[in-house]
Structure 1
Amino acid sequence: MTAVDTLAPPVAPVHEHAWITDSVHATSEGRVRYVRCVGCSARRVELEASDLPPTPLTRALQ
């Protein structure tokens, strides 16, 4: 085995996601938003509680 065989696979380029809301619904904890990145189509779930900015409940999923 050579050093080339042990290199890590390439990683997708990182970018700042531009989240848009696909859907939203109210819960007892606040509003839950299902959002999608317009650039790469990654998705995540956010919780929007009262006057605070949305908090991600999941990491971005491809």
Structure 2
Amino acid sequence: HIWSSACEAGELGAKATQSMIALRGRAARLGERSLGHIDPGAASAVVILKAMRETFDGTASR
């Protein structure tokens, strides 16, 4: 399913941010200390994708 694929890709992308130094946003002031942490924006995007998957697949709790 397309939403499951999108969620998987989002999770992989979010995990990939652990090896990146933040250059923009609030985390940019942390510099190299941001290494090893998942970007909060990427993590939020995964939460949104999962909510969309649940909504459109009809698995959302009401």
TM-score range, shorter chain: under 0.3
- Structure number with greater Rg is 1
Q: Greater helix percent: which structure?
A: 2
Higher relative contact order (Cα pairs below 8 Å, separated by 6+ residues): 2
Q: Greater strand percent: which structure?
A: 1
TM-score (norm 1): 0.20
TM-score (norm 2): 0.20
